Amino acid sequence: MRRLTVTLLLIVVLAVMATGIHSTCAYAQLTWQGSFAGDYRLYLQNEQEFSHAAHRLTLLPEARLGAAKFTGEFWLNLQGRPAVDDPSGLSAYGSIFPWNLEVREAYVELYDFPLDRMDLRAGRQLIPWGTGDLVSPTDNINPLDLADFKDFGRRLGSEALQLNWYPGPVTVTAVYVPVFTPARLPAGWMNLFLPPEMAGMLAGVDEGKFIVNLPAASLRESAFGLKLAGRIGGYDLSLSYLDGRYDLPEAKEVRGAITEIANPLNPMEHMVLKEVSLFFPRRRVVGLDFAGELGSAGIWAEAAVFFPEKVTRATRIDLPDPYPDYTGETVVLEQAYTKYLVGADYTFPGGTYLNLQFLHGFPHERGAGELEDYLIFALEKTVLNGRVKITPLAGLLAVQDFSDIRNNYALVLAPEVSWYPVDGAEIALGVNWLQCVGDSLFSRFQDDDEVYLKFKYSF
């Protein structure tokens, strides 16, 4: 209850300050924007249960005084389903109305500091690199935010220092991230991101058997990035370098036990998982991207070469007598690999908009042999003087093996109709539909087709 009171007081203070009350010491007026949104999703299968029902209040405060500015983004998430697990929950407001406050961004920017033509930004911030739409192989500073996997493209802010220098036609950006932040993963993430060979051992496994080893909060474990950006021949280009760690974990050691071998042809049948040790490998990334126009079409492309540290997974399995215990090592990551994206968009006469992107390597994939190919697409048409937007075709096609596409693909479709009844308001009705054959990330959502209704009011 105390947490709720503090949060509500914070919102009230922000609102009051935004009406024109000034700080007595700095005289900087706080202005803000924001939105209130609702998101309801209903499974088309599974007895038509609601898969998601929530609201979000977003506040975007900004305060500027002279050559300095504060910027923030705060989310107040209101979950639509009670989280009552025991009788005591019936008397707890936080259980009946679950909620949480997220500080997405909060940073201060100093202009012409420490020298002329230099801007310094310090605090929690989003630092998007690359030119892709929703996906960018060169965008690797901020960790992924996969808490809501179907709200694709989200990232967490990083506690960082960013220095931009404008010496001339080239912009130099340096980024320093003192402490590592891992990706935020969805419920059931163990089945999504751990090695496929472990899938059969995860059913009913206690999460306490997974040990997560975060990098130390030390100078040695900090991340550093550098980017050079400019414009040549009408195209925006940039070259980037990043030295940091993967934000998704990798299994470094797996321990298990087999109590009996009833079937010699399948000795792993009675395998029991005892412990999995996870860590976050280090990698260096060199990136190149460009964006511009070709005739009436917008075009963009980017490529990122990953140089990972060598990762060896140790497997230790206790076997029943008279068999000796098994110990083995497998190199799961060592060689450099490249992810790339090519995209274009075009608005046809009459207002129909088409966006196409070809992606080699999804954000969670690593290692040359694990990269899949994706065609991401969207077709939109606005009618009724901009009051209605129809998206009959949107989604992606993933292909694991072009030599056998029929048995190795995933198709995701998300048609949608949006209505803008008044300025600032949007109501959207759509469907998330999946068809998967083979073993890919999207096959985990094979039975999660859903219809959704969303609304948003921006102010």
**Does residue 319 fall inside a structural domain?**
no
> What pLDDT score was predicted for residue 2?
53
**Does residue 84 fall inside a structural domain?**
yes
**Does residue 27 fall inside a structural domain?**
yes
Domain enclosing residue 94, as ranges = 1-106
Question: Rounded CA gap, 58 and 14, in Å?
Answer: 12
Among 106, 141, 172, which residue terminates a domain?
Answer: 106
> What pLDDT score was predicted for residue 192?
64
**Does residue 367 fall inside a structural domain?**
no
Count the neighbouring beta carbons within 10 Å of the beta carbon of residue 61.
19
Among 106, 138, 173, which residue terminates a domain?
Answer: 106
Continuous segment of H or E residues that includes residue 223: strand 223-232
> What pLDDT score was predicted for residue 205?
65
> What pLDDT score was predicted for residue 252?
93
* Antiparallel, parallel or unpaired: β 297-308 and 337-347: antiparallel
> Which residue ranges of the chain lie beneath pLDDT 50?
6, 12-14, 16-25
**Does residue 392 fall inside a structural domain?**
yes
**Does residue 415 fall inside a structural domain?**
yes
**Identity of the amino acid at 419:** W
> What pLDDT score was predicted for residue 257?
87
Among 106, 129, 156, which residue terminates a domain?
Answer: 106
> What pLDDT score was predicted for residue 125?
98
Tokens 């009408």 -> residue: 234
20 φ/ψ sector (left φ>0, alpha ψ -120 to 50, else beta): left
> What pLDDT score was predicted for residue 23?
44
206 exposed, middle or buried (CB, 10 Å; 0-12, 13-18, 19+)? exposed
**Does residue 453 fall inside a structural domain?**
yes
**Does residue 142 fall inside a structural domain?**
no
Task: Specify whether the CB–CB gap between 397 and 378 falls below 8 A.
Answer: no
Q: What is the pTM of this model?
A: 0.89
Cα–Cα distances (Å) from 16 to 12, 29, 32, 317, in that order, read 6, 11, 11, 62
**For the stretch 104-130, what's the b/e string if a residue is b when 16 or more beta carbons lie within 10 angstroms of its beta carbon?**
bbbbebbbeeeeeebbbbebbbbbebb
> What pLDDT score was predicted for residue 112?
97
The domain total for the chain is 2
> What pLDDT score was predicted for residue 191?
65
For residue 427 the two structure tokens come to: 């109501």
